[in-house]
Amino acid sequence: MARHLITSALPYINGIKHLGNLVGSQLPADLFARYMRGRGREVLFLCATDEHGTPAELAATKAGKPVEDYCAELHEVQARIADGFRLSFDHYGRSSSPQNHALTQHFAGRLADLGLISEVTEKQMYSNADGRFLPDRYIEGTCPNCGFESARGDQCDNCTKQLDPTDLINPYSTISGSTDLEERETKHLFLRQSEMREKLQNWIDTKADWPILTTSIANKWLNDGDGLQDRGITRDLDWGIPVKRGAEDWPGMEGKVFYVWFDAPIEYIACAQEWVDAGKGSDWERWWRTDKGADDVTYTQFMGKDNVPFHTLSFPATILGSQEPWKAVDYIKSFNYLNYDGGQFSTSRGRGVFMDQALEILPADYWRWWLLSHAPESSDSEFTWENFQQSVNKDLADVLGNFVSRVTKFCRSKFGEEVPTGGAFGETETALITELTTRIRAYEDHMSSMEVRKSAQELRAIWVAGNEYLQNAAPWSVFKTDPEQAAAQIRLALNLIRLYAVLSAPFIPDASKALLAAMNTDDTSWPDNVPAALEVLKPGHAFTVPDVTFRKISDEEREDWQTRFAGKRD
């Protein structure tokens, strides 16, 4: 049986992420990991904080802390919040780890030996006011492509065009704000991606099952304009992985570090080493080396669309270019953007809900359900408080929560707190089982294909089927004339609660756990055989009536939150 290696794009270290960051990578990756574990697959789910580069230095300076201390502190904050959202990482590592230092330097040495790294003398912006060369993210200005006035020196966030600092119009230092910049010569290392173009194109052409969003971005970068360009992999920074050729010093590269986009994807591999070194697992090579048993591994990456070029081109150029037996990605699930209530999330303006704030308002399952059921797969999607309230109240409270409450309370009042004995399933029950079998198989197909929204829709339909059955069967009426038949109906419904807990666990793990506890069972067996799954809880099995599974959001709460997170307007 194939093993599943799953990685999420690494969240950047400079602060707490917003809900759009969460739904664009980590949350759907967790959904898939939980589903595969639920189906009995062996899973290694890895993520880490991305800690190098200019923004880390800038954020640390703003916080008045040494960058090492700042990154260590924010790593703990992000890890705690990830746990709050029940992200089930097998290890949550750090790109600043010793393992990633050594592995990044190894890849650089290997690529250099194979002629895929060149030393290039180029002109780079030097700030006279700051007395230093300015890496790309230390410079902002107007984008020459779309006119966006806050484009960074590496990329425009508005049109996503890849840039060099010298491309910007009216550039200025983000450190001092000074426009007293001049070009000076400096030497840097470049990954010769252009030499890998044909190999990368052939590799991408084999990925016919990838989402159109993923392949269209990759092919655009490969073929637009002059095609795939060589990319600088070093920067003039203090914080980062020192430039070495393997374990050896690299003459002329003293004082430079590797560019964050070169070392960050390598952390996926290093994270597995950290996982082993932390005593959580063993033999990381069987996941990452095809000469060590990784041939039966299916490797899936999750990320937002802005990360696609680096994961379809730059990181594969590193992996494939090394000519070593590393496991390359099999499938890249990419997402569009989640916008916030008619605009964008903004940290500086306090606009939108950020992950720590979300958990202060409501438990994780409320957010997990809305975000996954509205995942921005085929296009950008938008969070609004009205839609959030409606989805929580109708899907979670009225459909799932109401079913659980009605069944358990009715059973307690008529049969006590145990699965009732007597009666037999009739045509109505048989029809329900047939419908559930069809829907569960469809749910499995969507989940295996990582069709997140379709999976959520099918799961909700499975919940609705139970409600419709309860309404049609009307055990409260049947009980008056045929208590045994009502007992059979409620026995089926109680088993449905356990079944719902199992099926829903990837989406709403806390609620799933609570429902299993209420049903007094730790049986999480997957319903390969639906009729058998609906007889797991035998007559006489004790249960308890759970607390409210999901509470409704009031209009007053919605209005308060809408005002609280509106942020400062321009």
**Residue 47 among known ligand-binding residues:** no
Residues in CB range of 528: below 8 A, 6 or more apart: none
Q: Which alpha helices (DSSP H) does 165-292 contain, by range? A: 197-205, 212-223, 260-277, 285-288
Q: Are 197 and 231 in contact (CB under 8 A)?
A: no
143 marked ligand binding residue:
yes
| Alpha-carbon Rg for the chain in angstroms | 27
Chain centroid, CA 294 distance in Å: 23
Residues 198, 112: Cα–Cα separation, whole Å: 19
The reply to whether 156 sits in an annotated binding site is yes
CA distances to 242, 433, 527 from 253, in Å: 9, 68, 59
How many CB atoms neighbour CB 200 within 10 A?
22
271 is in an annotated binding site: no
294, 285 Cβ separation under 8 angstroms: yes
Cα gap 32→49, rounded to integer Å: 20
| Alpha-carbon distances of 409 from 181, 272, 358, 556, rounded to whole Å | 73, 47, 31, 29
Question: What is the separation, in whole angstroms, between the first and last Cα of the chain?
Answer: 55
Q: Do residues 106 and 243 touch, judged by C-beta distance below 8 A? A: no
Strands 139-142 and 169-173: antiparallel
Q: Quick one: angle between helices 197-205 and 212-223, nearest 10?
A: 160
> Treating both helix axes as pointing N-terminal to C-terminal, what angle do 54-63 and 67-84 enclose, rounded to 10 degrees?
100
251: three-class secondary structure by DSSP: coil
Looking at the DSSP assignment, which residues form a beta bridge with residue 265? none
Taking alpha carbons only, the member of 45, 49, 61 closest to residue 16 is: 49
Is 408 marked within a binding site?
no
Query: DSSP secondary structure string, 329-371?
Result: PSEEEEE-PEEETTB--BTTTTBS-BHHHHHHHS-HHHHHHHH
- Alpha-carbon distance of 83 to 105, in angstroms, equals 31
Residue 351 corresponds to which tokens in the numbers above?
A: 């606009």
Token pair belonging to 447: 């989940």
In sign, the C-alpha dihedral spanning 513, 518, 519, 521 is positive
Task: Tell me how many helices (H) and strands (E) the chain has.
Answer: 22, 18
**Which residues belong to the annotated binding site?**
143, 146, 156, 159, 347
Q: Which residues are annotated as a binding site for Zn(2+)?
A: 143, 146, 156, 159
- Give the residue ranges of the annotated binding site for ATP: 347
